[in-house]
Amino acid sequence: MPELPEVETIKRSLGPIVGKTVTGLMVLRSDIVKRCDFGVENAVGSEIIDVTRRGKYLVIKLSCARHLVVHLGMTGRLLMVASSEPIADHTHMVINLEGEKDVRYQDPRRFGNISFVKDTGGFFSSLGPEPLDPSFGPEELARRLKRRSASIKPVLLDQGVVAGIGNIYADEILFAAGLHPARGASELNEYEISRLHAAIKEVITRAIEWRGTTFRDYRDGFNQPGQFQTHLAVYGRYGQPCPKCGQPVQKTVIGGRTTHYCAICQE
Partner DNA sequence: AGCTCACCCTGGACGC
Partner DNA sequence: TGCGTCCAGGGTGAGC
Give the footprint of DNA on residues 101-120 (CB under 7 A): 108-111
CB 170 within 8 A of CB 234: no
Amino acid at 104: R
Segment 147 to 166, residues that bind DNA, using CB under 7 A: 147-151, 154-155, 157, 159, 166
Using DSSP's 3-state secondary structure scheme, residue 66 falls into coil
2 is catalytic: yes
> Does residue 257 bind DNA (CB under 7 A)?
yes
- Cβ atoms of 28 and 16 within 8 Å: the answer is no
Is the CB of 46 or the CB of 235 nearer to DNA?
235
Considering only residues 26, 49, 64, 74, which one is a binding residue for DNA as defined by CB under 7 A?
74
Name every residue whose Cβ is closer than 8 Å to that of residue 148 and which is 6 or more positions away in sequence.
155, 161, 185, 186
CB of 204 closer than 8 Å to CB of 169: yes
> Which one of 11, 53, 56, 144 is the catalytic residue?
56
Q: Does residue 58 bind DNA (CB under 7 A)?
A: no
55 near DNA, rule: CB under 7 A = yes
Q: Is 154 a catalytic residue?
A: no
Quote the longest CA-to-CA distance of the chain.
58
Does residue number 212 form part of the binding site for DNA (CB under 7 A)? no
56 catalytically annotated: yes
Nearest approach, Cβ of 185 to DNA (angstroms)? 7
DSSP structure class, residue 154: H
Q: What is the DSSP string of 188-252?
A: --HHHHHHHHHHHHHHHHHHHHTT---SSS---TTS---SGGGG-SSTT-BTSBPTTT-PBBEEE
Task: Determine, following the binding rule CB under 7 A, whether residue 181 of this chain makes contact with DNA.
Answer: no
Nearest distance, CB of residue 74 and DNA, angstroms:
5
Cβ at position 43, least distance to DNA in Å: 22
Catalytic residues: 2-3, 56, 257
Chain residues binding DNA by CB under 7 A are: 1, 3, 34, 55-56, 71, 73-74, 89-90, 108-111, 147-151, 154-155, 157, 159, 166-168, 185, 216, 255-258
